[in-house]
Structure 1
Amino acid sequence: MPRTVTVGLDGSRESRAAAEWAAREAELRDLPLKLLHVWEPAPEPMAQASLLDAGTRQHWRERIPREAAEAVRLRHPEVEVAVEQLPGRPADVLVKAAESAELLVLGSRGLGGPVGFLVGSVGLSVVAHVDRPVVLVRSTEPAADGHGTAPKDTPSAATAVRPVVLGLDVEHPDEALIAFAFESAARRGTSLRVVHTWYPPPYYAYGTPVNPALNEALALSAEAELAKALSPWRARFPDVDVVEVTRYGSPAEHLVEASRDASLIVVGRCARRIPVGAHIGHTAHSVLHHATVPVAVVPHD
């Protein structure tokens, strides 16, 4: 079975924006697109008390994926589109669907509006438990977001594409994470901005006067480590212009700041299992809530 770009639909503006983003990504990857609508059956007493009969409920349930598919096919006739509706708990169904997907795309409201599909427990659970990359898309994401969606013979196609931004921990430079970022930049024909942050050692940071010489040495060391981690990837992707950025301070803050001029933010998530709850890491969690552009969360060892 060929892998797909799969997008979860719930009828919100965010999920419609996610479907549009996913269609463009499917076109870039030359993969089919699957529109997945998950509906949670109402408990029997509630279903019996509903003012709508079963046929009417089914009509409205089928309307969400049908209208999304019509919109995608109109805008992206070259993309193969499949529609699937499944009952069950949304988080469980989406995690299962990700197993056969190359990429899972979902809508996200962030903290700028009401808590929604992705910021809530369902979305966080999906991000924390899937073994495939997940991309979270805002409802404010424009139709042309740096995917190069304009026809090739139009002037707007020549407009510079905003860079892909990768948050990288040079102490654990996972290959899956770096490959995803480089491939994303290569597909879009844009540059890759790699952000690495550093702090002074704990024994120095607490109660010790600022030492400019030490800070400069630490900054130079961080730059050298970042260059070393990216050197083999520059050779593998010679056409990707790479900008290396090292900053003092919180990685989440610097990545959110970088999102203002980016087309996509790529962050990692350690794919470890915990007995209770969903854990995605502080940096990924903060970027998901506050970044202004789509965020790709890539699980790694």
Structure 2
Amino acid sequence: MSQPDPRPVVVAVGDQPADAALSYAVAEAERLGCGVHLVHVVHSLPQGSELVRVQSVDVEDRGRHTLRRALDLARELAGDGPRVTASLLIGTVVHELVTAVEQIGDVRMVVVQHRDLSRVRRLVSRSTTGGLAARLRLPLVSVPASWTAGIAPAVGGVDRVVTAGVDEPERSVEVLRAAVAAARTHGARLDLVHAWGVPGLYDDPQLAEEVGKELAEAGAGEIRAQLDGLGVDFDDLHIEVHTPPQPAAEQLVEASRTAHLLVLGKHDPWFPLGSHVGPVTGAVLRDAQCPVLLVDPHPSD
């Protein structure tokens, strides 16, 4: 429909209303001083009989209606702020979205809305978030459909909190870098969460407690060392390091109830076609109450 501004926030608009994703994207674009570009992909149908062609036209018309609704809402949210553009594509969802992002060239982030599907439906349908995570290295934000801007309660006198999950500190440099940038951009306190677990061979409760304490202290020390290695000034940031016991997913989902944003690293699959959304991240994406920023764990070229 229209050409996007340079370095926009891209929103993947699905078949269902994307009010939460649009609200988040417009707010981010206003904060970053850039435009918003909406992309809606209409599933392609094999062309053959007249009936199929009629069905294809009907589906495309519905796609245009869906995109128009999203565009009108985004422009209403933006007001005199960010410029909002849109494009309608035909094909397979993940492929067309990735192609659109690559053609734009320099995208700040891609925003998708998390659909509240049943576990069974998720097992039989490929996740758009998972597909994009596998093929895009830029920041990817999943926004729960129930999320509303500004609903997170204040914590300890701080209006906003950005929480980052730190799995292995030495492999989480990019997650820490993104979390620091997000906290600074949002004027938020930064909470870093590293969940530890005691191996099952420690049957003695007292010994297990001692080992757990050592693991917690070691994890916190490693995180602080990685922060120091970033070489940035933290004087304007309030950073807290938390080292609770596992399970990590439960700790992060609980944190999402009061966080403005969760920052997590994508997963390196064990085999080429494996998932780039690991079990912890997948569980958090499913149940998080706030937007989740997925970060590529590898430095940009």
**Candidates 106, 109, 117, aligned match of 2:112:** 106
| Alignment pair present for 1:82 and 2:85 | yes
Q: Secondary structure at the match of 2:265?
A: strand
**Candidates 3, 18, 40, aligned match of 2:7:** 3
| Alignment pair present for 1:124 and 2:126 | no
**Candidates 70, 78, 91, aligned match of 1:68:** 70
| Alignment pair present for 1:209 and 2:204 | yes
Which residue in the other structure is 1:149 paired with?
none
Structure 2 length-normalised TM: 0.82
Which residue in the other structure is 2:185 paired with?
187
Matching of residues 1-301 of structure 1 within 5 Å = 2-13=6-17, 15-45=18-48, 48-49=51-52, 54=57, 57-77=59-79, 78-99=81-102, 100=105, 101-110=107-116, 115=121, 120-144=126-150, 160-200=158-198, 202=199, 205-206=200-201, 208-210=203-205, 211=207, 212-232=209-229, 235-271=232-268, 274-301=271-298
Equivalent pair of 1:177/1:300 in contact (CA under 8 Å)? yes
Separation in structure 2 between the aligned mates of residue 294 and residue 271 of structure 1, nearest angstrom = 22
Post-superposition shift, 1:267? 0.4
- Post-superposition Cα deviations, 1:185-218, rounded to whole Å, max 9, x if no partner, equal 1111111111011223x4xx32531213333333
In the superposition, relative to structure 1, how do residues 278 and 173 fare at CA in structure 2: closer, same or farther (>3 Å)?
closer
Structure 1 length-normalised TM: 0.82
In the superposition, relative to structure 1, how do residues 179 and 223 fare at CA in structure 2: closer, same or farther (>3 Å)?
closer
Q: Secondary structure at the match of 2:94?
A: helix
Equivalent pair of 1:193/1:242 in contact (CA under 8 Å)? yes
Equivalent pair of 1:161/1:188 in contact (CA under 8 Å)? no
Post-superposition shift, 1:10? 1.6
Equivalent pair of 2:269/2:275 in contact (CA under 8 Å)? no
Q: Secondary structure at the match of 1:69?
A: helix
Equivalent pair of 1:111/1:290 in contact (CA under 8 Å)? no
Separation in structure 2 between the aligned mates of residue 215 and residue 135 of structure 1, nearest angstrom = 33
Letter in 2 for 1:206: L
In the superposition, relative to structure 1, how do residues 207 and 238 fare at CA in structure 2: closer, same or farther (>3 Å)?
closer
Identity of aligned residues (%): 26
In the superposition, relative to structure 1, how do residues 3 and 213 fare at CA in structure 2: closer, same or farther (>3 Å)?
same
Post-superposition shift, 1:121? 3.3
Unaligned runs of 5+ in 2: none
Separation in structure 1 between the aligned mates of residue 275 and residue 50 of structure 2, nearest angstrom = 31
Separation in structure 2 between the aligned mates of residue 296 and residue 123 of structure 1, nearest angstrom = 11
**In angstroms, what is the RMSD of aligned CA positions?**
2.9
Letter in 2 for 1:32: G
Separation in structure 1 between the aligned mates of residue 141 and residue 50 of structure 2, nearest angstrom = 34
More off after superposition, 226-235 vs 281-290: 226-235
Post-superposition shift, 1:260? 1.1
Equivalent pair of 1:128/1:279 in contact (CA under 8 Å)? yes
Letter in 2 for 1:208: D
In the superposition, relative to structure 1, how do residues 279 and 175 fare at CA in structure 2: closer, same or farther (>3 Å)?
closer
Equivalent pair of 1:173/1:229 in contact (CA under 8 Å)? no
Q: Secondary structure at the match of 2:99?
A: helix
Equivalent pair of 1:129/1:278 in contact (CA under 8 Å)? no
Separation in structure 2 between the aligned mates of residue 122 and residue 61 of structure 1, nearest angstrom = 17
Separation in structure 2 between the aligned mates of residue 12 and residue 95 of structure 1, nearest angstrom = 20
Letter in 2 for 1:194: L
Q: Secondary structure at the match of 1:261?
A: coil
Post-superposition shift, 1:224? 2.1
Post-superposition shift, 1:34? 0.5
Q: Secondary structure at the match of 1:137?
A: strand
In the superposition, relative to structure 1, how do residues 53 and 273 fare at CA in structure 2: closer, same or farther (>3 Å)?
closer
Separation in structure 2 between the aligned mates of residue 173 and residue 47 of structure 1, nearest angstrom = 55
Post-superposition shift, 1:110? 4.1
Separation in structure 2 between the aligned mates of residue 102 and residue 40 of structure 1, nearest angstrom = 26
Unaligned runs of 5+ in 1: 147-158
In the superposition, relative to structure 1, how do residues 92 and 274 fare at CA in structure 2: closer, same or farther (>3 Å)?
farther
Separation in structure 1 between the aligned mates of residue 28 and residue 120 of structure 2, nearest angstrom = 27
In the superposition, relative to structure 1, how do residues 266 and 276 fare at CA in structure 2: closer, same or farther (>3 Å)?
same
Post-superposition shift, 1:277? 4.5
Aligned residues: 283
Letter in 1 for 2:7: R
